[in-house]
């Protein structure tokens, strides 16, 4: 048979399976579905298991009656009743076993289908939020519950924040959209890294969303989303019928949660790749500066100092004066390169958190320049920032302090971390000469614009306040909600 003929037959079969609606769309034909056919076959088999042995035994009883006519009719009826009852019992036993096996096969098929669909959606989608919404919809259908949510851990604060909600009564889920570590059912699941299932929400004191119980939800199950050993979020489902959340459903929910957790962890890692690449490049530059330029400048400084000492014995005034000037230039350049190297290395250090790394950096500046710098942390939340935020922030602080050292003629400076209006507020203040921001120009103007661009890169704002004779205040505000609550999106 030719390929064209085969294709024509497939098309004919496809047309036979559907009929066109009035609007041109295809609708299912009146042919019975495979599930309906299977149900009819089960009913026929059930009746066959009842009537086949009953008919056989009835025929046998009729033969016996004909042979033993002296027996009473009541005896024969009783025997026939026992036979039919036995057939019914046998049929019930057989079909109970068949239905149990079918239910198990259905659960396994649902498990494999859900796992496959979840893996496909998470691997193919480029938008994590959209993929999570689709996956959650599939989870609700697979388990047969009415509503669910996915909360992700916000890197800046460490809180669980509602990211995706699907199903009925979304406003009831938004009654509490943020959970601290160990707060409520989701917070406890994240803390213990173990599922929690509640079959009677009305009597559960740890459950914080009373609006869900008021609209009729009785059961609630939460599982951790883990990427390796790290909990990155929590997935929860709610059901009106507590029987919907049995052991099999919770196992399926937990396995799907592991898949989702890996996807979230991978997505966050991919988001950090540009920042990590930049850190590696800065580390390479720091090594090259140290191995080449810094050593050269150091050697030049020592050589100039040695020549000046020799010329002091036979003093040509002009040559000694010029050499002293060159020595000062080399010393300044060497100090600036060392400061840049230390700044680059501080940012790429993976052993230190932000505050210890910054403390080490400020100590080095004090050692090199004599500038007294106080570090004040008024709210720890302002220091718990994502990696990309930390990198840009420490570069801003470095540039601000470099301006203080070079231009302000200050004796003291202060770096402060605080939280104000839902944002981290970081300031660098000095007691120096100050300047008119409207008259800034040259290298200083370029540095101020660079600080502004760095703050805006991570969604923050930059401001500078200064006046001649009044010192300078550099202020950076960075958002604490690095993961926005996008549950209001469709």
pTM of the model: 0.47
State pLDDT tens for residues 200-245.
Answer: 999 999 999 999 999 999 999 999 999 888 899 999 999 999 888 9
Q: Does domain 352-490 correspond to CATH entry 3.30.413.10?
A: no
Reported confidence tier of residue 272, pLDDT bands at 50, 70, 90? low
Share of the chain above pLDDT 90, in %: 27
pLDDT of residue 296: 60
**What pLDDT is stored for residue 350 in this prediction?**
44
Q: What value does the mean pLDDT take over residues 61-71?
A: 62
Higher pLDDT, 443 or 178: 178
Structure confidence at residue 305 as a pLDDT band (50, 70, 90): confident
**Looking at residues 354-367, what average pLDDT do you find?**
86
Q: What span, in angstroms and rounded, lies between the C-alpha atoms of 268 and 129?
A: 12
Whether the per-residue pLDDT at 394 is higher than 60: the answer is yes
More confident call, 232 vs 81: 232
Average pLDDT, integer, range 305-332: 68
Position 348 pLDDT exceeds 50: no
Taking CA atoms, 203 is separated from 213, 219, 430, 488, in Å, by 10, 11, 58, 29
Greater model confidence, 59 or 292: 59
Res 15: pLDDT = 35
Instruction: Give the model confidence (pLDDT) of 407-421 as tens digits.
Output: 888 999 999 999 998
- The pLDDT, as a whole number, for residue 293 is 62
pLDDT tens string 1-51 = 333 343 333 333 333 333 333 333 333 344 444 455 656 666 666 666 666
Please provide the average confidence, as pLDDT, over all residues in the chain: 75
Check residue 438 and give its pLDDT.
75
Q: Give me the residue spans of the domains in the chain.
A: 31-119, 125-270, 352-490
pLDDT, tens digit (0-9, with 9 covering 90-100), for 97-156:
777 767 666 666 666 666 666 666 666 666 778 888 888 888 888 888 999 999 999 877
Pick the more confident residue, 175 or 84.
175
Of 3.30.450.40, 1.10.10.1800, 3.30.750.24, 3.40.1390.10, the CATH number of 125-270 is: 3.30.450.40
């Amino acid at each position: 048979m030719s390929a064209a003929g085969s294709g024509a037959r497939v098309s004919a079969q496809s047309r036979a399976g559907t009929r066109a609606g009035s609007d041109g769309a295809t609708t299912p034909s009146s042919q019975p579905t495979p599930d309906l056919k299977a149900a009819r076959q089960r009913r026929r088999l059930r009746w066959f298991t009842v009537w086949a042995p009953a008919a056989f035994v009835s025929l046998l009883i009729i033969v016996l009656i004909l042979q033993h006519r002296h027996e009473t009719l009541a005896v024969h009826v009783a025997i026939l009743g026992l036979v039919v009852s036995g057939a019914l019992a046998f049929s019930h036993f057989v079909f109970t076993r068949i239905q149990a096996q079918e239910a198990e096969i259905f659960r396994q098929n649902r498990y494999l289908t859900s796992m496959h669909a979840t893996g496909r959606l998470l691997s193919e989608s480029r938008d994590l939020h959209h993929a999570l919404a689709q996956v959650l919809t599939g989870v609700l259908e697979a388990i047969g519950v009415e509503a669910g949510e996915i909360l992700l851990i916000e890197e800046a604060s460490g809180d669980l924040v509602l990211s995706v909600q699907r199903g009925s009564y979304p406003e009831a889920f938004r009654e509490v959209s943020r959970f601290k570590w160990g707060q409520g059912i989701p917070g406890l699941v994240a803390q213990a890294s173990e599922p929690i299932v509640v079959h009677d929400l009305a009597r559960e004191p740890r459950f914080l969303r009373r609006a869900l119980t008021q609209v009729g939800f009785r059961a609630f199950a939460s599982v951790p989303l883990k990427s390796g050993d790290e909990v990155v979020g929590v997935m929860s489902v709610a059901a009106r019928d507590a029987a919907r959340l049995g052991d099999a459903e919770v196992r399926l929910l937990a396995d799907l949660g592991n898949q989702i957790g890996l996807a979230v962890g991978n997505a966050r890692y991919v988001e950090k790749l540009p920042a990590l690449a930049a850190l590696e490049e800065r580390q390479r530059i720091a090594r090259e500066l140290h191995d080449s330029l810094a050593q050269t400048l150091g050697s030049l400084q020592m050589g100039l100092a040695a020549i000046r000492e020799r010329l002091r014995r036979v003093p040509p005034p002009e040559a000694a004066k010029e050499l002293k000037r060159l020595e000062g230039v080399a010393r300044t350049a060497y100090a600036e390169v060392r400061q840049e190297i230390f700044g680059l290395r501080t940012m790429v250090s993976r052993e230190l958190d932000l505050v210890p790394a910054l403390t080490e950096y400020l100590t080095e500046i004090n050692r090199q320049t004599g500038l007294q710098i106080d570090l004040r942390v008024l709210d720890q939340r302002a220091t718990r920032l994502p990696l990309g935020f930390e990198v840009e922030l420490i570069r801003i602080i470095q540039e601000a302090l470099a301006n203080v050292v070079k231009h302000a003629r200050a004796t003291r400076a202060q770096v402060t971390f605080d939280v104000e209006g839902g944002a981290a507020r970081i300031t660098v203040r000095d007691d120096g000469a100050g300047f008119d921001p409207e008259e800034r120009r040259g290298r200083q103007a370029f540095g101020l614009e660079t600080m502004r661009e760095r703050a805006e890169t991570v969604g923050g704002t930059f401001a500078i306040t200064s006046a001649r004779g009044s010192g300078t205040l550099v202020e950076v505000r960075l958002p604490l909600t690095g993961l926005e609550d996008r549950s209001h999106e469709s």
